[in-house]
Chain A
Amino acid sequence: MAYSDKVLDHYENPRNVGSLDKDDPNVGTGMVGAPACGDVMKLQIKLGENGIIEDAKFKTYGCGSAIASSSLVTEMLKGKTLDEAESIKNSAIAEELALPPVKIHCSVLAEDAIKAAIEDLKNKK
């Protein structure tokens, strides 16, 4: 199966790989996994004083599409409010990366990771 250029770009030069302090009250951590393939994704967002997401980091262990989906998501999240972030749909991720049908679940995983990170953040407030 051939990856699209965009997937390859994110895979070879992943953006925002790393970790934020999970104990920071302004940091939300989303941990999700796909039992079908054993992929694990950690997505973290940091909310600024103004209610805007000022930083996002990820760590994904999985296939190229899962890495690309989470890398893209960190770029999309920065500068958004939590409401805007919550409305990001997996279809937008899949479309942007031109994911084939068998890899759509990677974008679903990324969407789930956003939701989990937001929920974690809200639980801290």
Chain B
Amino acid sequence: MEFFDIYEIEPSFSIPVSELKNKYLVLQKKYHPDRFAHSSIEQQKTALINSSLINDAYQVLKDDIKRAKYLLECNEIEITNHTNPEFLIKQIEYEEKIEDHSHDKSELVSIQKELQEEIEQYKVNLETNFSKKDFERASKQINEFIFIHKLHLKIKEKINQLG
């Protein structure tokens, strides 16, 4: 749980995002290699290692999917490769709906809302399962979450293109 330790944040799926960001800015400033330009080679090296660790940890912790994967990894669980076929059928139905309404902005916006609601639900469920340490369930949910998340980005892009 090294990444959580760096930011002194309790390891869990739901984290205080604004606190993370503030701490990141503080730490990044404190360990920025530029501040060690006149220090010994040894100190410069340490600063560089610290600063890249701070960055790596931030990139993982601020991202829902990466943070969830990291929590699984720390518990030596791999994200499952098997996706529920029923779930995949629903994904295809979403894709078809998006295709059929590719120029209908209001319809796309309403699909986006549906997806956004699903995303929120997945987040709630992930938090529940991680706090219960039900990693098997969490692994299945992240698997599905990745698909929904990608679809959500895709539809957002389409809506933006329509202007």
Residue pair A59, B146 in contact (C-beta under 8 Å) = no
> Using Cβ atoms and an 8 Å threshold, which residues of chain B touch A116?
85
Q: How many residues of B contact A (CB 8 A)?
A: 17
Residue pair B88, A31 in contact (C-beta under 8 Å) = yes
> Using Cβ atoms and an 8 Å threshold, which residues of chain B touch A101?
none
Chain B positions 61 through 95: 1 when the CB is less than 8 Å from some CB of chain A, otherwise 0? 00000000000000000011101010011011001
- A residues 53-86 near B (Cβ < 8 Å) are 59, 61
Residue pair B143, A59 in contact (C-beta under 8 Å) = no
Q: How many residues of A contact B (CB 8 A)?
A: 11
- A residues 1-57 near B (Cβ < 8 Å) are 31-33, 35, 37-38, 40, 42
Interface of A is mostly: strand
Interface of B is mostly: helix
Residue pair B150, A33 in contact (C-beta under 8 Å) = no
Q: Tell whether B151 is near chain A: CB-to-CB under 8 Å.
A: yes
Known interface pairs A40-B95, A61-B95; A33-B147 also in contact (CB < 8 Å): yes
Residue pair B92, A35 in contact (C-beta under 8 Å) = no
Known interface pairs A35-B79, A35-B83, A116-B85; A40-B146 also in contact (CB < 8 Å): no
Chain A positions within 8 Å of B, measured between CB atoms, are 31-33, 35, 37-38, 40, 42, 59, 61, 116
Q: Can you pick out 30 interface pairs between chain A and chain B where the beta carbons lie within 8 Å of each other?
A: A31-B88, A31-B89, A32-B83, A32-B85, A32-B88, A33-B91, A33-B147, A35-B79, A35-B80, A35-B83, A35-B142, A35-B143, A35-B146, A35-B147, A38-B146, A38-B147, A38-B149, A38-B150, A38-B151, A40-B88, A40-B91, A40-B92, A40-B95, A40-B147, A42-B88, A42-B89, A42-B92, A61-B91, A61-B92, A116-B85
